[in-house]
Amino acid sequence: MPEVDETKLPGVGVKHDFPTEQGKRVGVISHFSGRRSLLLYDSDEPDSCRDTIDLNENEQRILAALLRSE
């Protein structure tokens, strides 16, 4: 199981990210407001975020359900 890195973002929230088995990084920012942002990192620059997708509460639930489904 990969190690999940946690970074406190003052005034924003907390960022969690981890490397996938394929060597890519993915992360989530948990904002103090309750909003979540999905982070997709650049394959060539693992410290550089390629894209951010902001998810509202309903979208968070849908994504969580899809990730749990078998």
The full set of domain ranges for the chain reads: 5-68
pTM comes to 0.85
d(CA 42, CA 60): 23
The confidence score (pLDDT) of residue 48 equals 87
Handedness of CA 62, 64, 66, 70 (dihedral sign): negative
Going residue by residue through the chain, which has 70 residues, state the pLDDT in tens, using 9 for 90 and above.
779 999 999 999 999 999 988 888 999 999 999 999 999 998 888 778 899 999 999 999 999 999 997 6
**By the 8 A CB rule, do 24 and 37 touch?**
no
How far CA 38 is from CA of 25, 31, in Å, comes to 11, 11
